[in-house]
Amino acid sequence: MTRTAAADAPAGRVPQRTARPARRRVRLLVGLLGLLVLAVVVGVLGIAVGARSIAPVDVWTALVAPTGTDDDVVVRALRLPRTALGLAVGAALGLAGALIQGHTRNPLADPGLLGVSAGAAFAVCLAVYAFGVSSVTGSVWFALAGALLASVVVFLLGTSGGGGSPVTLALAGAAVTAFLTALTSGLVLLDSVTLDAYRFWVVGSLVGRGDDVLAQVAPFLLVGLLLALVNAPALDTLQMGEDVARGLGQRIGPARLTGVAAITLLTGAAVAVTGPIAFVGLVVPHVARAITGPAHRWLLPYSGLLGAVLLVGADVVGRVLVRPAELPVGLVLAVVGAPFFIALVRRRRLVSL
C-alpha cells in the first residue's frame, strides 16, 4: 500500500525525508512500466480472444507477415482496429477523468461533466432524426461538434460570473448537461427510429468501428493528450486553491483553458466513437490516486494507462462471457468495475481531493 510522502515522513526525521522520495519515484516508475506491459498483454488478449480464438503465434504472423488466411483477415480487419480503439478511448477517458476531477476538485466529476457527453448524445440523436445519418463514420462528426459546442458554452457560462471557480464550472456543466439531456429525451420520445439508434449508442460499445473511425478522431486525441500532459504542473499548483496558486505565480485563466480544452478533445473524441462510457473516467482516477497520491505528473500517466487496460479488459470479458455473442463494453465495465471499485473504496484510505 502506497501512502503519500508527507504521511510517510513526519517532520523532523530529516534523513528519511531525503531518502524516501527517490525510492518512491523508482517504485512509481516501475509501476508505470508494469502497467505498460499489462496494457500490451491486454492488447494481445484483445486481438486473440473472441468468438474465434486465435493463438498468440498466429496473431504475431497476422500482424507481421499476413498470408491472407482467415485468421489474418479477422485479426487485421476486425480485432486490431477494435483493440487499438479500445486502448485509445480508454486512455483518453482515464486522462480526461483525472483532469476534470483535478480542475473541479470534485470526486464526483466525470469527463462528461462539462456537457461533453450530453452534447455528443444530442448531436447523434439530431443526426439520426433530422439528417437520417446512421453510419458510425457520419455520426462521429456530429458527436464531436456537439461535444465541442457544449463544452465551449459551459466554459463561457461557468467563467462569466467571476473567475470560474471549480464549483461554478461544475454546476454550469451539470446544468447544461440537464438541458441537453432534456432535449435528447424529447427527440427520442418523438421518434422511435431515433430511440432505436440512441439506445444502442448510449450503452457504449466498440463493435463495428473500423480503423477509419480511429483515424478520424486520432488528431483530436493526440492534441488532447499533449495539452493534458502540459497541464499537469499547473494542476498540481491549483490543488492548493486558486488564491494560493495565484500567489505562487500560476496564471489561472490559461491553466483552466488548457485543461478544459484537453478534457473536451479527449472526451469528445472518445464519446463520439464509443458512446458515453463515463464510468472509466470516473473510477480510474480514484484507483490511480490510491497508487500515486495526488501529484498529477504521476496521476495522469497512471490514469491513462489504467483506463486503456480497463476498457480493453472489459471488452475482452464481454466477448468471453456470452461467447459467441457479446456484451456491450459499457455494460461489462459497470457490472465488473463497480463492485471492484466499491471493494477498493472499502479497503483503502482513499486520497481525498
Partner 1 sequence: MSAATVAPGVPGRRAVRVGPVSAVWRPRAVLVPAVLAVVALLLAAVDVGRGDYPIGVLDVLRIVLGGGGQADRFVVVELRLPRALTALLVGAALGMSGAILQSVARNPLASPDLLGITAGASVGAVALIVLGGGVLGGALALVGLPLAALLGGLLTATAMYLLAWRRGVDGFRLVLVGIALAALLTSSTSYLLIVADITQAAQATVWLTGSLNGRGWEHVVPVLLAVGGSALLALTGGATLSALRLGEDSARALGVRLQAGQAALLAIAVLLASVAVAAAGPLAFVALIAPQVALRLVRSAGPPVFAGGLVGAVLVVGGDVVARTVLPVELPVGIVTAAVGAPYLLSLLARRTRRLDA
Q: Does 253 help bind partner 1 (rule: CB under 8 A)?
A: no
Q: Does 189 help bind partner 1 (rule: CB under 8 A)?
A: yes
Q: Does 67 help bind partner 1 (rule: CB under 8 A)?
A: no
Q: Does 192 help bind partner 1 (rule: CB under 8 A)?
A: yes
Query: Interior CA angle at 206 toward 203 and 207, to 5°?
Result: 100
C-alpha cell at 93: 477517458
Largest CA distance in the chain: 69
Q: 109, 140, 144, 271: which one contacts partner 1 (CB under 8 A)? A: 109
| Dihedral over Cα of 295, 297, 298, 299: its sign | positive
C-alpha cell at 188: 427520442
Helix orientation angle between 252-274 and 136-160, rounded to the nearest 10 degrees: 150
Q: Does 309 help bind partner 1 (rule: CB under 8 A)?
A: no
Radius of gyration of the chain (CA): 21
C-alpha cell at 283: 473510477
Q: 31, 107, 138, 210: which one contacts partner 1 (CB under 8 A)? A: 107
C-alpha cell at 153: 458554452
Q: Does 335 help bind partner 1 (rule: CB under 8 A)?
A: yes
CB 67 within 8 A of CB 61: yes
Q: Does 12 help bind partner 1 (rule: CB under 8 A)?
A: no
Q: Does 190 help bind partner 1 (rule: CB under 8 A)?
A: yes
Q: Does 195 help bind partner 1 (rule: CB under 8 A)?
A: yes
From the list 2-10, 69-77, 167-175, 225-233, the region that binds partner 1 by CB under 8 A is: 167-175
Residues in binding contact with partner 1, number by CB under 8 A: 56
Q: Does 183 help bind partner 1 (rule: CB under 8 A)?
A: yes
For the bound state, the minimum distance from the C-beta of residue 311 to partner 1, rounded and expressed in Å, comes to 14
Task: Single out the residue of 299, 281, 279, 280 nearest to residue 353, CA to CA.
Answer: 299
For the bound state, the minimum distance from the C-beta of residue 275 to partner 1, rounded and expressed in Å, comes to 10
C-alpha cell at 11: 517532520
CB 309 within 8 A of CB 39: yes
CB 286 within 8 A of CB 248: no
Q: Does 41 help bind partner 1 (rule: CB under 8 A)?
A: no
Ranges within 263-282 binding partner 1 (CB under 8 A):
278-279, 282
Amino acid, single-letter form, for residue 209: R
Binding site residues, partner 1, CB under 8 A: 106-109, 113, 157-158, 160-162, 165, 167-168, 170-172, 174-176, 178-179, 181-183, 185-186, 188-190, 192, 195-196, 199-200, 202-203, 278-279, 282-283, 286, 328, 330-331, 333-335, 337-339, 341-342, 345-346, 350, 352
